[in-house]
Amino acid sequence: MIPNILIPLATQNDQRPIIYKLNQTYAEAICRAGGNPIMVARPDDQTLQELLSTIDGILLAGGHDVDPNTYGEEKNEHTCNVDQDRDRVEITLARLAQEKNIPILGICRGLQVMNITLGGSLYQHLTTDLSGSLTHDMHDGQKRNFLAHEVEIKSGSLLAQIYGGGKAMTNSLHHQGIKRLSNKLTASGATSDGLIEAVELRGHPFYIGVQWHPEELLDEPSTRLFQAFIAAAKNKNAGTKAF
Ligand SMILES: [Mn+2]
């Protein structure tokens, strides 16, 4: 059985016409790990519910900023290109994944959506809002696989089982990040400036978010992360942990 992985498309709304899109690397990473990506646009909530019976896992990809209203804050001048309909779709999926034990992997914005869904909040701009912040936004002038910083992986976490514990060198393509961590989530990785860069939901078969972009890296830990996600998706209806 090849597990179907639902991926809401990102929105490119800083130009006209507005485009729904997905970087090729996400789909390739899912395929390499043995899954089948199923891209969707903006289904209504009822359609989303029905779609869930046909899929085995959910991937929340990167993209533009989430509307700060979703975590009770006013939008400041650094938050841009909000798509409230994408926020609705992804927050609904992150909630349903929690409730129904559906394996879910959140990448970059995806991790942020998971944290917001479960009651956390974001820094709207790390450079100005997180004192002593490292340089996390490598969008300008660097390749997307540029290894920007270390992430300390918390021992005892699911992520440590996958990454082998210790430190991981990762890329970094984000200007926002977790401010208040959801009290349901566990921090499983952080950078030296104190920013939480990985989260997981204990007791769930696979509810993992990472702030970096493993789909752009072809190293072994990134490969194992996608393999573990697809293994959990294959196991979705078995009701047991995949690893
Ligand atoms: Mn970073």
How do residues 199-217 score in pLDDT, each as one tens digit?
999 999 999 999 999 999 9
Judge contact between 179 and 122, C-beta under 8 A. yes
Q: 21 alpha carbon to ligand 1 midpoint, in Å?
A: 23
Is the CATH code 3.40.50.880 the one for domain 4-238?
A: yes
Task: Tell me the three state secondary structure of residue 46.
Answer: helix
Q: Which residues are catalytic?
A: 108, 213, 215
According to the model, what pLDDT value does residue 242 have?
46
Tens digits of per-residue pLDDT, 108-128?
999 999 999 999 999 999 999
Find residue 153's DSSP bridge partners. 189
Instruction: Tell me the pairing of strands 36-40 and 4-8.
Output: parallel
CB neighbours of residue 207 within 10 Å: 27
CA-based nearest residue to 30, from 169, 225, 177:
225
According to the model, what pLDDT value does residue 236 have?
85
Q: 212 alpha carbon to ligand 1 midpoint, in Å?
A: 6
Q: 11 alpha carbon to ligand 1 midpoint, in Å?
A: 22
* Domain map (residue ranges) of the chain: 4-238
